[in-house]
Amino acid sequence: MIPEFQKDGNLPKGVHRASVDDVGTSLGASSARRKWLFGSLARIVELAKSTGKLERVIIWGSFVSHKASPQDLDLLLIMKQDFAIDHVAAEAAKLFDHVQARILFNADIFWAKSSIGEEMIDLWLETYQMTREFEPRGIVEVILDDQE
């Protein structure tokens, strides 16, 4: 569940878990820009899931803030240890090419295999929970269908 925004326009610090539908309702419906970005997010999740290797999706940045017109999507995809990009369908492979993902989805997509370890993933999540001004903020983890 996604909590209310704080006075500074950010979510409270923490990793807030929500389904894709809840992300759409809470963060992707209040403006035309948010609706468009949510459409991109839903497509990204669908393509990443089509690989059969998606474990986690983390969202941070302006999309998970109160900002009326977020600039873009900032995502981290955690893939299973045995993920191999050369076995991914052409359309889904675009997610793992930073430039193509930026152009096609208006998203900065970062990804890693789960084999990097929980300690490294936790370090990334801590980093994403800080603004550019080093203020704490919340981020969102998308609950995938098989995690509900």
CA nearest to 38, candidates 77, 91, 78, 75: 75
Say if 7 falls within a structural domain. no
Number of domains in the chain: 1
89 CB neighbour count, 10 Å cutoff: 10
Domain that holds residue 117: 14-147
Q: Is the pLDDT score of 146 beyond 70?
A: no
Is 103 among the domain residues? yes
Q: What is the mean pLDDT of residues 120-138?
A: 95
Summary mean pLDDT of the chain: 95
Residue 98 sits in a domain of what CATH number? Answer: 3.30.460
Give the per-residue pLDDT at 145: 81
**Does a structural domain hold residue 5?**
no
Rounded Cα gap, residues 55 and 145, in angstroms:
11
C-alpha 7/C-alpha 117 separation (Å) is: 35
Asked if the structure places residue 67 within a domain, the reply is yes
Residue 131: alpha-carbon gap to chain centroid: 16
Per-residue DSSP letter, 140:
E
Looking at the predicted structure, is the pLDDT value of residue 148 above 80? no
The pLDDT value recorded for residue 147 is 60
| Per-residue confidence (pLDDT) for residue 34, from 0 to 100 | 97
8 Å CB contact between 100 and 65? no
